[in-house]
Amino acid sequence: MISDKLFYAVCILFSIIAVFLIIVSKETNDILRGLVWLFFWSAGGICYYVLNRKGSKRVGQGGIASITDDRGKMMALMIGCLAFVIAGYSALPFNHLYDDSNRYTPAFGWIIGTISILFFGFGLIVSIIKLVKPRVAMQIKGSESPVISFSKNQLTISQLEGKLELLSKGKTEFDFLGIHSSGVDCIYFTKVDDKFNIEFEAMDEGQIPFIEKLKEYARSRGFPCSVTTYGNKPHYNSVKESPVVRIETKTNLTETVKIANEIEKAIFGNNDETVYEVVP
């Protein structure tokens, strides 16, 4: 399999060649061909980088579910499809961009151009729709069923009690929920009888420094605190499973919201106006 560095090197090389072609060309067709291929190879490299990142952007993690946001990949898909649509359009005979090529024939141009425009044009439309109507996706831990998608739900900390009330009454799809504003500050609320505990799972490397801060917060408040795991593989190099800080607050609705607000402010630097995504 081709290495990432080699692929990036090829994209950069052909992008440089395209720029050189644009600079030295005197014919309009040559300049247009250079622009097409510059966009094709540069967009290809960017799209490959985004799509080859470790999974989608994690906007929340939990022991039961893994939440992802695919807008970055949809943006990459849109750019990639656009590059192929432009390349396909440039191949159509009436553009006369490749008339001086010995291997180019009008029939070949119509076939390749039409297929590229139709196939990648469809992908372009789909990616635009998904960007206009962003959705997050949830994969249930231990389930082989397809990813479940749901619309985003936003709130401020003052509105959290209403969500927790639904959780306490069993009116949510799962027996937990979480909030986050950046992915790093994702905390979860788990129901224990008629009370709540708060959890934090360090799935990304940027979350690791907050483990000790949360443990110190729990000690300062006198809450029992433990570090466990749900067996999830973290998104950083580690032989261990991702750690979960469990703060056994065992508090009611109002007290839980107050503690969550304290954590988000003191640990993560948020404020009363911070807008959170609810997951799931």
Half-sphere exposure at residue 82, Cβ-oriented, CA atoms within 13 angstroms:
13
**3-class secondary structure, 62:** coil
Listed in sequence order, the residues at least 6 apart from 232 whose beta carbon sits closer than 8 Å to its beta carbon are 61, 63, 66, 141, 201, 203, 241, 242
Structural domain spans, the chain: 4-59+70-137, 153-279
Q: What is the pLDDT of residue 102?
A: 56
56-109 pLDDT tens trace? 444 444 444 444 555 666 777 777 777 778 777 777 777 666 656 656 677 777
- Could you give the C-alpha distances from 131 to 70, 76, 83, in angstroms and in order? 9, 11, 17
Compute the chain's Rg from CA coordinates.
Answer: 25
Q: What is the pLDDT of residue 138?
A: 46
Q: Please give the residue that has the higher pLDDT: either 280 or 241.
A: 241
Q: Please give the residue that has the higher pLDDT: either 226 or 117.
A: 226
End-to-end Cα separation, the chain, in angstroms: 37
pTM over 0.75: no
| Beta bridge mates, 177 | 189
For residues 183 and 60, the answer to whether their CB atoms sit within 8 Å is yes
What crossing angle do the helices spanning 253-266 and 160-168 adopt, rounded to 10°?
130
Q: What is the pLDDT of residue 55?
A: 41
For residues 53 and 70, the answer to whether their CB atoms sit within 8 Å is no
240-271 pLDDT tens trace? 899 999 999 999 999 999 999 999 999 999 99
- What the block records as the tokens of 236 is 């950083």
Mean pLDDT of 160-189: 87
- What the block records as the tokens of 127 is 């990616």
